Amino acid sequence: MIELLDEGDEAFTEEFETLVTGLVDRVGQYEFRTMLRDPDDFRGAILTIHPGAGGTESQDWAMMLLRMYTKWMEQSGYKYQVVDIQEGEEGGITRATIEVEGDYAFGYLKAEKGVHRLVRISPFDANSRRHTSFASVFVYPDIADEITVDIQDKDLKVDTYRASGAGGQHVNKTDSAVRITHLPTGIVVQSQAERSQHRNRETAMRLLKARLYQFLKAEREKSREELEAEKKEIAFGSQIRSYVLHPYTLVKDHRTGWETSDVQSVLEGEIRPFMEEYLRQTAGSVGR
């Protein structure tokens, strides 16, 4: 193709440049994936979002994060399903769980685990004051049926309830949603995406397997500090990343120092540079 460029075809030159740019990007992705050495990095992922204290403010921030992550998933070619979501009374969400299908979804998304902080002029404050909101993100590898996790029926508390919705004809009139509590660990999972209680139970059990697997894996590796870090209060001093909309615009990752002033692009799903910088800096300890 380079030899053909000598003919001076302008359209061909543009095509060549586009192909080279795409090739460089693909090679960069493959080179980056060689740093994802954890045995679970290649798997799909289960991502959960919970707002911190602050009522509607934090619940709205949790909804913004949900949108940011689903935008990133769409842009990255990942398939996803929101298997559980609970809307807040005045706006936003009080929780959300997303299943993400695709190669290395967990490898990338594990960079997002932690507390995310938002600073902005509140749209819910009549006096237009500045508010700080927090939300936590947890990520687990989707182990599907590849790995056996021993779960005893006697250790489970299963509750059914009516799935929530925006109202109208699509609200499920039966108690099809399922909540499962694993009594020994206190882990709680929920699913309400399906109209069938049986299907929701299957999904909830899959979520429980993934969370138990991650819990037991951390224990085997004696990662007590990691387990305790996940229980940190969703508040000041514990955030991994800050998103500032006022009095200036800035998104900064406190673990790596990576930052950008283009907050809107980040909220539209342009988070890959933050993920890659974090994974690049931690690559030396991954898989040890």
Q: Which residue has the higher pLDDT, 279 or 12?
A: 279
pLDDT at residue 178 in the model: 93
Mean pLDDT, residues 90-106: 93
More confident residue, 212 or 11: 212
For residue 98, what pLDDT is reported? 96
* pLDDT of 11 above 80: no
Residue 174 CA: distances (Å) to CA of 144, 163, 190, 197, 207: 28, 8, 16, 9, 22
Top pLDDT among 82 and 171 is at: 82
Q: Distance of alpha carbon 1 from its chain centroid, rounded?
A: 41
Q: How far is CA 243 from CA 7, 16, 112, 246, 261, in A?
A: 50, 38, 14, 9, 9
How confident is the model over 85-98, as a mean pLDDT? 92
Check: CB of residue 250 under 8 Å from CB of residue 241.
no
d(Cα 200, Cα 222) in Å, to the nearest integer? Answer: 33
pLDDT > 80? residue 284: no
**Domains along the chain with CATH numbers:** 3-33 (no CATH), 37-288 (3.30.70.1660)
231, pLDDT greater than 60: no
Confidence bin at 169 (pLDDT 50/70/90)? very low
Whole-number pLDDT of residue 168: 37
Contacts (Cβ under 8 Å, ≥6 apart) of 152: none
DSSP 20-62: HHHHHHHHHHHHHHTT--STTTTSEEEEEEEE-SSTHHHHHHH
pLDDT of res. 234: 63
7: pLDDT confidence band, cut at 50, 70 and 90? low
Q: Mean pLDDT throughout 130-152?
A: 87
pLDDT, tens only, 23-59:
988 887 777 777 788 889 999 999 999 999 878 999 9
Structure-block tokens of residue 117: 């902080």
pLDDT at 6 over 70: no
Provide the pLDDT confidence category of residue 166 given band limits of 50, 70 and 90: very low
Confidence check: pLDDT of 287 > 60: no
Helix, strand or coil, per DSSP, at residue 285: coil
Average predicted confidence (pLDDT) for the chain: 85
Q: Is the pLDDT of residue 145 over 90?
A: no
What percent of the chain lies above the pLDDT cut of 70?
86
- Give the span between the Cα atoms of 229 and 255, in whole angstroms: 14
172-219 confidence digits (pLDDT tens): 456 789 999 999 999 999 999 888 899 999 999 989 999 998 888 877
Paired strand residues for 178:
160, 191
Return the pLDDT at 233.
62
Phi and psi dihedrals of 21, rounded to 5? -60, -45
Structure pTM?
A: 0.77
In the chain, the DSSP E strands lie at: 44-51, 79-87, 93-101, 114-121, 130-142, 156-161, 177-182, 187-191, 239-244, 250-253, 259-260
Asked if the model's pLDDT at residue 226 lies above 70, the reply is no
